[in-house]
């Protein structure tokens, strides 16, 4: 599959998660008041725009990379609400940086081999 088609399919799948029922259950779980949500990492209450709903398991495994659409879809659409976590932007950036560091380390190991 060429990269344009792959990118288009991924974008459609990401948009589809907004209608996924377990995402809404996780959204409801982290809501504490009108427009207020707590970060499930640091426990601080934030406005919704200062938080992001994150996949607990990265959609693309940081150690193996993109394996195929079957695994990608399974990770994109968790089967229960605990597959999602509401994180404030700083906590989400920290988690993302850790995952990206794992990706870089894995790539370096593969390049040496």
Tens of pLDDT along the chain (113 residues) come to 788 999 999 999 999 999 999 999 999 999 999 999 999 999 999 999 999 999 999 999 998 888 899 999 999 999 999 999 999 999 999 999 999 999 988 887 777 76
pTM here?
Answer: 0.84
Question: How many whole angstroms separate alpha carbon 2 and alpha carbon 16?
Answer: 22
3-class SS letters over the chain: CCHHHHHHHHHHHHHHHHHCHHHHHHHHHHEEECCEEECCCCCCEEEHHHEEEEECCCCCECCCECCCHHHHHHHHCCCCHHHEEEEEHHHHHHHHHHHHHHHHHHHHHHHHC
Question: Which residues is 111 bridged to in the sheet?
Answer: none
Q: What is the distance of C-alpha 80 from the center of its chain?
A: 14
Question: How many whole angstroms separate alpha carbon 68 and alpha carbon 49?
Answer: 32
**86: closest CA among 43, 11, 33?**
43
So what's the pLDDT on residue 113? Answer: 65
Write down the domain spans for the chain: 3-112
| Half-sphere exposure (Cβ direction) of 18: Cα atoms closer than 13 Å | 5
């Amino acid at each position: 599959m060429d990269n344009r088609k792959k990118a288009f399919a991924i974008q459609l799948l990401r948009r589809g998660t907004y209608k996924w029922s377990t995402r809404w259950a996780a959204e409801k779980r982290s809501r504490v008041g009108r427009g207020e949500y707590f970060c499930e990492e640091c426990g601080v209450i934030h406005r919704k725009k200062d938080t992001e709903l994150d996949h607990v398991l990265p959609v693309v495994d940081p150690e193996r990379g993109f394996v195929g659409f079957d695994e990608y879809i399974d990770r994109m659409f968790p089967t229960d609400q605990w597959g999602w976590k509401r994180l404030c932007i700083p906590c989400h950036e920290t988690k993302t940086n850790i995952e990206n560091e794992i990706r870089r380390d894995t790539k370096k190991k593969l390049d040496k081999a």
